[in-house]
Amino acid sequence: MTANPGGSLVLLNPGPACTSDRVRAALGRGDWCHREPEFSELLASIRSGLTRVLNVADTHEAIVVTGSGTSAMEMAVISAVRADRSILVVRNGVYGDRLAGIAEVHGITVHSVGGAWTDPADPQAVRAALAEHPDVDAVAVVQHETTTGLVNPVGAIGRIAREAGVLMVVDAISATAVEDEGHEDLNADIICGTANKGLHGLPGISFILCSHRGIERLQEVPVRSLYLNADTCLTGQRKGDVPFTPAVQVCFALDEAIRELEERGGVAARVAEYKERAALVRAGLARLGLEVLIPAEHRSNSISMIYLPEGISYPELHDALKADGFVIYAGQGDLARTFFRVATMGELPLSTLERFLTSLETAISKIRAGR
């Protein structure tokens, strides 16, 4: 297995991530019709596999959708809020803003709990906002804000939402199989995920996991989308059917990625692996005198938001590293001027990350020497 086949680029961006030879090979299984029993069996395998590996098989049911993680976010938001009710969105990064934007596009009233992009969400601020806005039907929060590599206290917020009798929606897209050993402690009714990132599948398939209460809500909300109507999708998928043509080959890859994950020790082993990667990279950054924005106690296991080396721009650093086979990622918004991001998602042996740190040191030295 290699994460850099044939000399291709090593992706250190927060998705799409590098995949294993085994997962890529699954794309070649052939051409299947999605109306045949073979695909129904594949769909059932994916749906059961997702809830099983994420430790929610007894409490949640999976709905698979062809689309990026944002499609799962949109399905979740429009499925969580009944007519003439509102949603409370925690906004301390780009993806919290995206959850709010989705609601607004669909005419759903949004109340917000704001916060600095460098600070975890305050559960007590959520409690106060729920008391202030009795029309709230759901709370939505991002577990891991890849904007900065910040992890929010989702479990605590979920307990508050449950006490208030409102639904809890979690964007766990970049947290799944990376930040916790399962989703049972999120206290969430609707959880958004994607095939790529921590599951090490390929982009193009996403999903939501719905609790029993979440499924009841799907049936109560007005129809806000034809393609992303969760109730329609769930009804079909329970019978092994899908309403629209799925990305069949990407489903092959996701099914294989789930099998591979379980064979390697499951989510607990993967989380431990991600922690080891993060420790290696951050120790290397410290040796180079590069600082990470988010305090250690609030950092994710996969994203480091790093101050750019003094006097070096992001385009210079990006291009030098890409020439050596590594793709880093820019900061978002105003952060783009002073930070870059390194993601350690996907199939990345520690030896590859050690090579990256050497490449980073060399790139900084060459850029400065060329001035």
Q: Which amino acid, residue 254?
A: L
| pLDDT tens figures, 193-238 | 999 999 999 999 999 999 999 999 999 999 999 999 999 999 999 9
Rg, the chain, Cα only: 21
pLDDT for the residue 7: 55
Following DSSP, what letter does each residue of 332-367 receive, concatenated?
-GGGGGTEEEEE--BS--HHHHHHHHHHHHHHHHHH
Q: What is the pLDDT of residue 3?
A: 43
Give how far Cα 305 sits from Cα of 14, 172, 301, 338, 351, Å.
Answer: 11, 19, 12, 10, 21
Tell me whether residue 328 is exposed, middle or buried, using C-beta atoms within 10 angstroms of its C-beta: 0 to 12, 13 to 18, 19 or more: buried
Q: Name the token pair of 235.
A: 């009804």
Task: Report the distance separating Cα 96 and Cα 103, nearest Å.
Answer: 11
Q: Tens of pLDDT along 338-360?
A: 999 999 999 999 999 999 999 99
List the structure tokens of 244. 């629209």
pTM listed for this prediction: 0.95
Contact 270, 198 (CB under 8 A): yes
Indicate whether 39 pLDDT > 70.
yes
- Give the pLDDT band of residue 183 (cuts 50, 70, 90): confident
Q: What is the pLDDT of residue 218?
A: 95
Residue 169 CB neighbour total at 10 angstroms: 30
